[in-house]
Amino acid sequence: MNHSESLQTVPVKGHVDKGHVLVTGGGSGIGAATAKVFSDAGYRVTIVGRTESTLRAQDLPYQVCDVTDKGAVTAAFASAVKLRGPVTVVIANAGAAESVPFAKLTPEHVQGLLQVNVVGVINTWQAALSDMQTSGHGRLIAIASTAGLRGYPYVSAYSAAKHAVVGLTKSVALELAKTGVTTNAICPGFVNTPMVQSAIDNIVATTGRSAAEAADALIAGNPQKRLIEPVEVAESALWLASDAAASVNGHCLALSGGEV
Ligand SMILES: NC(=O)c1ccc[n+]([C@@H]2O[C@H](COP(=O)([O-])OP(=O)(O)OC[C@H]3O[C@@H](n4cnc5c(N)ncnc54)[C@H](OP(=O)(O)O)[C@@H]3O)[C@@H](O)[C@H]2O)c1
């Protein structure tokens, strides 16, 4: 068995049970912050990722799973549902980015980014859909990016993948509009996570700039001149999951200090 069996089927005492949220990429960064915010708000939580050690460190129930593997995603959902009930909110957050000049892009590189950033979202949302349609209520949420709303140099394949997530979100939202399921994306600018730290490391390695200069280069495009904190993305997802956001559908919410 590859999952934490802390049988979280019964709501924590003192909490109002809000439902069951499954967060992919929940072992780090935005996903870990989102899982904690939902857990604190009274949701039953399952986190998903490929690395058991980082999942276990979050102290929440988890399933080890690669979101690009449809069969593995289906199996992970089945185990999570058996333990904690139908998934009412799914947050397709797992993703990867890599800087490559356009002229050096290879089909393998492009396929890899499309697999995790686009097919991973589709696999995750599809696995949640049947239970949501049966109950007439559900929330499909993707963590896209401002790179899904505008371009950036050296990340053309990542940006193409995130634009695909935005198109997917708008289309699925219309298709499911009468089912009680809403479909939305959150599009953050640069967020203070391990992904951004590796972008900073990459700039330092390739340009010889200091880490502070590299960080400044990343925040230069944000009018507030700061990195966004993971909890800001998490709280936006919590709102999208709430009854207050019932009519928000097909929306791609930029969290970018006014950049887009
Ligand atoms: N940080 C930013 O500036 C920023 C800005 C806009 C959007 N985003 C988006 O936000 C999301 C989260 O990124 P983050 O910044 O929090 O980065 P992160 O800390 O690197 O988190 C990415 C997570 O995705 C998981 N993951 C990657 N590939 C996976 C796969 N094939 N199957 C299952 N899990 C996989 C990783 O865990 P394993 O490696 O263990 O599987 C990791 O937990 C991504 O979709 C990213 O594109 C980030």
pLDDT recorded at residue 17: 85
Q: Give the residue among 33, 50, 48, 62 at the shortest CA–CA distance from 124.
A: 48
Task: Report the pLDDT value the prediction gives residue 54, as an integer from 0 to 100.
Answer: 98
Written as one letter, the residue type at 121 is V
Tell me, yes or no, whether 218 and 246 share the same domain: no
Same domain (yes/no): 176, 236: yes
Give residue 14's pLDDT. 52
pLDDT at residue 11 in the model: 47
CATH number at residue 64: 3.40.50.720
Relative to the CA of 51, which ligand 1 atom is closest? 40
Whether 41 and 131 share a structural domain:
yes
The SS3 of residue 247 is: coil
- Whether residues 177 and 139 share a domain: the answer is yes
Q: Which residues of the chain have pLDDT under 70?
A: 1-15
At residue 16, the pLDDT reads 73
Q: Is residue 13 part of a domain?
A: no
Note down the domain range covering 26. 20-190+229-255
Q: Ligand 1 pocket: which of 22, 50, 169, 255 to mutate (most atoms <8 Å of CB)?
A: 50
Is residue 188 in contact with ligand 1, taking CB distance under 6 Å? yes
How far apart (Å, rounded) are the C-alpha atoms in residues 163 and 168? 9
Q: How many domains does the chain have?
A: 2
